[in-house]
């Protein structure tokens, strides 16, 4: 095969056409996929062709076959889980990342993407009001961002008692105790599992899912030896924030490393509106968040922040003869995350922040929260609807009475297709969980969503009267 730059033009042009058709459809198309996975699997169940195919035709075929199975996550009417949309500059930058095809691990080898990611990291620290000297790494998502912070913490607390986990592993090591709020997210549980630390000791939470400082103090009093404390910026169901200053002080007084899981809620720190709720956030030791949630960059991109860069580098830096290091001694991107080879996923983050600026980032975050409040107000006005949480950020949890009725309304809503909201269980009750994470959601989308819930509620009510 001969490389000819012009061979890229036709498939790229087809990709632009297919992408534009998809994006143009988002304001009006049903949010749910039109076809289930089995139907899509059957459509793709073809034998591998014996001969090559025209690249542009392959791209067109791919788009056509995939379209019925695509969820309109980029729609302003998508409120499922905590999934953001994609800002125009971030999407376009992500295309450049693919075209450049840089392995973003080494500063020396890929100086452009390393410099872009370093500046993106500095902007993140500035926006979130975190220590400017912190290390920032770009991961696949929140799970691995939590992994990074907890791995750095594991190494640091074991070093403090004379144990080198890098050299000696965990066998025979002092036990590392981990304390977390009763509503800790499963991504933290996974990260602890990957690190060989086991299940955390759960600490009692208040009705909004926030860790109780008095219960944390009691739990810390029972701990001997090295320990980690995991706090939460943005509860999965309520959006509420753990009391940072008091909880971090208690943990540090006990010698614990404090990690903050802020997958979506850490971005509240950009706005003065949440400064009282997040007071003391900057005194933690590590933080995790996602860019593909609140910041609205393409999947996938998590962000791991460690206040002590040495702790991060100790956990992840690899040394071998064929790695050509930059003479400056600055950490390479691969020194701060688990992957040696990786996509330059911090580039769309730079583009998102460059396009928004400081004021635009604040407006984005505040706008998401304002739309969540508007949704809560509209839904609370419907008969038999109860908003269960204090709507302090971007999450709304709703009950329609009994668990059975709530599940049925959720099913009817999903079947309707005008919006997507996901079901869950919170404090032992079935809920309709609403997450406002898309930059494009506006007042019209909120009104459509309230009307869709009203229709689903009416469908269930009619069936019950049957």
What is the pTM (predicted TM-score) of this model? 0.97
Nearest CA to 268 among 283, 285, 247, 289?
289
Taking 90 as the threshold, does the pLDDT of residue 349 lie above it?
yes
Q: So what's the pLDDT on residue 66?
A: 98
Q: So what's the pLDDT on residue 334?
A: 94
Is 33 within 8 Å of 41 (Cβ atoms)? no
Q: So what's the pLDDT on residue 430?
A: 98
Q: So what's the pLDDT on residue 3?
A: 79
Q: What is the mean pLDDT of residues 241-266?
A: 98
Give backbone dihedrals phi and psi of 326, rounded to 5 degrees, phi first.
-70, 140
Taking 70 as the threshold, does the pLDDT of residue 379 lie above it?
yes
Report in angstroms the alpha-carbon separations of 383 from 44, 386, 430, 433. Answer: 45, 9, 18, 18
For residue 2, name the pLDDT band (cuts at 50, 70, 90).
confident
CA angle, 407 then 412 then 413, to 5°:
95
Task: State both tokens at 169.
Answer: 């592993």
The percentage of residues in the chain with a pLDDT greater than 70, rounded to a whole number, is 99
Task: State both tokens at 257.
Answer: 């490393």
Which residue is it, tokens 């304001």?
27
Which residue is it, tokens 């790229």?
12
Which CATH number describes the domain made up of 367-464?
3.90.1150.10
13-52 pLDDT, tens per residue?
999 999 999 999 999 999 999 999 999 999 999 999 999 9
Report in angstroms the alpha-carbon separations of 201 from 135, 184, 196, 198. Answer: 28, 10, 15, 10
Q: Is 333 exposed, middle or buried (0-12, 13-18, 19+ CB in 10 A)?
A: buried
Report in angstroms the alpha-carbon separations of 451 from 139, 253, 378, 444. Answer: 38, 51, 9, 11
| Domain range summary for the chain, segments of one domain joined by + | 29-71, 92-352, 367-464
For residue 328, name the pLDDT band (cuts at 50, 70, 90).
low
66-108 pLDDT, tens per residue?
999 999 999 999 999 999 999 999 999 999 999 999 999 999 9
Give backbone dihedrals phi and psi of 67, rounded to 5 degrees, phi first.
-50, -45
Which residue is it, tokens 């604040």?
362
Taking 90 as the threshold, does the pLDDT of residue 428 lie above it?
yes
Taking 70 as the threshold, does the pLDDT of residue 327 lie above it?
no
Q: So what's the pLDDT on residue 329?
A: 74
Nearest CA to 203 among 227, 225, 178?
178
Q: So what's the pLDDT on residue 384?
A: 94
Mean pLDDT of the chain: 96
Please state whether beta strands 429-435 and 395-399 pair in parallel, antiparallel, or not at all (unpaired): antiparallel
Is 258 within 8 Å of 391 (Cβ atoms)? no
Alpha-carbon torsion angle 365, 25, 82, 84, nearest 10: -40
- 3 state SS for the chain: CCCCHHHHHHHHHHHHHHHHHHHHHCCCCCCCCCCCHHHHHHHHCCCCCCCCCCHHHHHHHHHHHHHHHCCCCCCCCECCCCCCCCCHHHHHHHHHHHHHCCCCCCCCCCHHHHHHHHHHHHHHHHHHCCCCCCEEEEECCHHHHHHHHHHHHHHHHHHCCCCCHHHHCCCCCCCCEEEEECCCCHHHHHHHHHCCCCCCEEECECCCCCECHHHHHHHHHCCCCCEEEEEEECCCCCCCECCHHHHHHHHHHCCCEEEEECCCHHHHHHCHHHCCCCCCHHHCCEEEEECCCCCCCCCCCEEEEECCHHHHHHHHCCCCCCCCCCCCCCCCHHHCCCCCCCCCCHHHHHHHHHHHHHHHHHHHHHHHHHHHHHHHHHHHCCCCCEECCCCCCCEEEEECCCHHHHHHHHHHHHHHCCCECEEEEECCEEEEEEECCCCCCCHHHHHHHHHHHHHHHHHHHHHHHC
For residue 309, name the pLDDT band (cuts at 50, 70, 90).
very high
Task: State both tokens at 99.
Answer: 């075209």
93-151 pLDDT, tens per residue?
999 999 999 999 999 999 999 999 999 999 999 999 999 999 999 999 999 999 999 99
Q: So what's the pLDDT on residue 1?
A: 74
Q: So what's the pLDDT on residue 440?
A: 97
188-215 pLDDT, tens per residue?
999 999 999 999 999 999 999 999 999 9
Buried b (16+ CB within 10 A) or exposed e, 229-247: bbbbbbbbbbbbbbbbebb
Q: So what's the pLDDT on residue 423?
A: 95
- Indicate if the alpha-carbon torsion angle 371, 372, 375, 381 is positive or negative: negative
For residue 326, name the pLDDT band (cuts at 50, 70, 90).
low
Alpha-carbon span 99 to 11, nearest angstrom:
12
Least confident of 45-49, 67-71, 233-237, 315-319: 315-319
Alpha-carbon span 362 to 358, nearest angstrom:
6
Architecture of 92-352 per CATH? 3-Layer(aba) Sandwich (3.40)
């Amino acid at each position: 095969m001969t490389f000819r730059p012009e061979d890229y033009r036709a498939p790229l042009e087809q990709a632009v056409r297919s992408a534009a058709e998809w994006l143009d459809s988002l304001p009006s198309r049903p949010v749910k996929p039109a076809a289930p996975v089995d139907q899509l699997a059957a459509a793709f169940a073809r034998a591998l062709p014996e001969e090559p195919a025209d690249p542009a035709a392959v791209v067109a075929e791919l788009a056509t076959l995939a379209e019925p199975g695509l969820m309109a996550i980029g729609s302003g009417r998508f409120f499922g889980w905590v999934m953001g949309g994609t800002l125009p500059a971030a999407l376009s930058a992500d295309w450049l990342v693919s075209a450049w095809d840089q392995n973003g691990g080494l500063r020396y080898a890929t100086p452009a993407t390393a410099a872009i990611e370093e500046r993106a990291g500095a902007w993140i620290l500035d926006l979130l009001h975190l220590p400017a000297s912190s290390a920032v790494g770009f991961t696949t998502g929140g799970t691995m961002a939590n992994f990074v912070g907890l791995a750095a913490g594991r190494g640091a607390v074991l070093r403090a008692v004379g144990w080198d986990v890098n050299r000696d592993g965990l066998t025979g090591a002092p036990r590392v105790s981990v304390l977390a709020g009763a509503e800790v997210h499963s991504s933290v549980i996974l990260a602890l599992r990957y690190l060989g630390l086991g299940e955390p000791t759960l600490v009692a939470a208040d009705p909004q899912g926030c860790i109780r400082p008095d219960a944390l103090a009691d739990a810390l009093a029972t701990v001997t030896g090295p320990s980690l404390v995991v706090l939460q910026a943005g509860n999965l169901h309520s959006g509420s924030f753990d009391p940072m200053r008091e909880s971090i002080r208690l943990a540090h007084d006990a010698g614990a490393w404090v990690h903050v899981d802020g997958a979506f809620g850490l971005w509240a720190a950009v706005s003065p509106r949440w400064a009282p709720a997040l007071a003391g956030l900057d005194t933690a030791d590590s933080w995790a968040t996602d860019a593909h949630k609140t910041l609205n960059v393409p999947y996938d991109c998590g962000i791991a922040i460690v206040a002590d860069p040495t702790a991060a580098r100790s956990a992840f830096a690899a040394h071998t003869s064929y790695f050509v290091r930059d003479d400056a001694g600055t950490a390479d991107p691969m020194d701060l995350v688990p992957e040696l080879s990786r996509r330059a996923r911090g580039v769309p983050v730079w583009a998102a922040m460059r396009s928004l600026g400081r004021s635009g980032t604040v407006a984005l975050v505040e706008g998401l929260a304002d739309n969540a409040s508007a949704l809560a107000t509209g839904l609370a006005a419907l008969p038999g609807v109860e908003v269960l949480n204090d709507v302090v950020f971007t999450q709304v949890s709703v009950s329609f009475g009994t668990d059975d009725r709530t599940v049925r309304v959720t099913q009817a809503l999903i079947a309707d297709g005008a919006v997507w909201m996901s079901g869950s269980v919170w404090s032992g009750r079935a809920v309709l969980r609403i997450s406002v994470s898309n930059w494009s959601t506006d007042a019209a989308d909120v009104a459509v969503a309230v009307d869709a819930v009203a229709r689903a509620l009416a469908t269930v009510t009619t069936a019950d009267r049957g």
